[in-house]
Copies of this chain bind each other. A is one copy, B any other.
């Protein structure tokens, strides 16, 4: 008798009918003889509505109070789901994050899970019950309620799966799995049957829309296979796990892109210790996240330093960087706000030559200019003109045949 953890997102439980539908799916899993723990998000737009209510009352909601407020969203959906299961004849019980033993630090609105004290969950499972846990929330050592921030319910599900030694953590959402590229952009994008944890993480923004990276990292850390599928169909979806078979490793597994890229280049920087810190520390202090950083090989102790930020941060970053550039006697400080980023991803790339060359060649054939290149062991990323990103994704998708059956 296996133990499985299922997680249903907000869209899957938006309204009584959808909750009943989810209850039938859970019942089917229980009928197979498995013990079932379910993590559930707040219904539809509940969380946004509660946030709006808080801001109607105050411009600066207290972190503690806001977390208690938001935690009610998942409690509502978990109780309704437990009722729906009982309605179709299954013993079910809802537990808040606190009751399920999700212990966190006290960083309100972005708490990290410290441990899972799952005795209550185990006790209810042993009574034969289906246990419904309110996602996205936990409790501190001082018994104050916290929320986990973005990807919170995914993280709750994987953490519970790890704590309970579950066979698999199934994440049900409104898409039918992980695709070779964002299917809204590339209609021919193909659903992957399986993908490695690291590959999933490298899918970046697109991947995060499917399963939050925190949850994927946690799954990797505790070797919990994560199955991503649609709650609106019976397709098996995609299995994210560590043991992707040999044959499919030697492939480009997916193509990611990001249209929110702006570039700043500090030209003619004296290449000496401390220069990078003198630029990036003030940016960090100003709360500006840096994405890619590229420093060219220096010629005569003079180099160019290029980095990218979100478009909305460009003006702020320029205000910080310009005076610094002047003080370190850089020649100039240039920016470009109309960029995008494309990446090819696959663990097979790390020991196999030729992927980078084929990527660059494909872009060149389509007359797409590459402005920056960065790589990780399983990813090659190019920064290109924003207007050409979609062409580039399509071209690479064809070139690496990611849409074809493996």
Q: Which residues of A contact B (CB under 8 A)?
A: 16, 19-20, 50, 53-54, 56-62, 64-66, 68-69, 71-72, 75-76, 78-80, 82-84, 86-87, 93-94, 96, 99, 143
Report the bound CA distance from A19 to B58 in whole Å.
Answer: 11
Residue from the list B68, B72, B87, B99 in contact with A57, Cβ < 8 A = B87
Q: Let me know if A69 and B65 touch, CB within 8 A.
A: no
Report the bound CA distance from A62 to B78 in whole Å.
Answer: 13
A16-B53, A99-B143, A143-B99 known; A79 and B58 CB under 8 Å? Answer: no
- Beyond A62-B82, A65-B79, A66-B79, 15 extra complex contacts between A and B, CB < 8 Å: A16-B56, A53-B80, A57-B80, A57-B84, A58-B83, A58-B84, A58-B86, A60-B87, A65-B82, A66-B83, A69-B75, A69-B79, A69-B83, A71-B75, A99-B143
Secondary structure at the A interface, as helix, strand, loop or mixed, is: helix
Residues of B within 8 A of A96 (CB): 68
Q: Let me know if A83 and B59 touch, CB within 8 A.
A: no
Residues of B within 8 A of A58 (CB): 83-84, 86-87
Q: List 25 A-B contacts (CB under 8 A).
A: A19-B57, A20-B57, A53-B76, A53-B80, A54-B80, A54-B83, A57-B80, A57-B87, A58-B86, A58-B87, A59-B87, A60-B87, A65-B79, A65-B80, A65-B82, A66-B79, A66-B83, A68-B75, A68-B78, A68-B79, A68-B96, A69-B76, A69-B79, A71-B75, A99-B143
Report the bound CA distance from A99 to B64 in whole Å.
Answer: 14
Report the bound CA distance from A66 to B69 in whole Å.
Answer: 19
Q: Let me know if B80 and A94 touch, CB within 8 A.
A: no
Nearest residue, chain B, Cβ from A86: B62
Nearest residue, chain B, Cβ from A95: B68
Residues of B within 8 A of A65 (CB): 79-80, 82-83, 86, 93-94
Residues of B within 8 A of A75 (CB): 68-69, 71-72
Residues of B within 8 A of A50 (CB): 76
Report the bound CA distance from A93 to B60 in whole Å.
Answer: 15
Report the bound CA distance from A99 to B87 in whole Å.
Answer: 31
Nearest residue, chain B, Cβ from A134: B68
Residues of B within 8 A of A68 (CB): 75, 78-79, 94, 96
Q: Let me know if B87 and A80 touch, CB within 8 A.
A: no
A50-B76, A76-B50, A143-B99 known; A57 and B83 CB under 8 Å? Answer: yes
A16-B57, A58-B84 known; A72 and B76 CB under 8 Å? Answer: yes
Nearest residue, chain B, Cβ from A19: B57
Most chain B CB within a 10 A radius of its CB, from A50, A66, A80, A93: A80
Report the bound CA distance from A143 to B16 in whole Å.
Answer: 28
A24 to chain B, nearest CB (A): 12
Report the bound CA distance from A75 to B73 in whole Å.
Answer: 11
Q: Let me know if B99 and A83 touch, CB within 8 A.
A: no
A78 to chain B, nearest CB (A): 8
Nearest residue, chain B, Cβ from A64: B93
Residues of B within 8 A of A78 (CB): 68
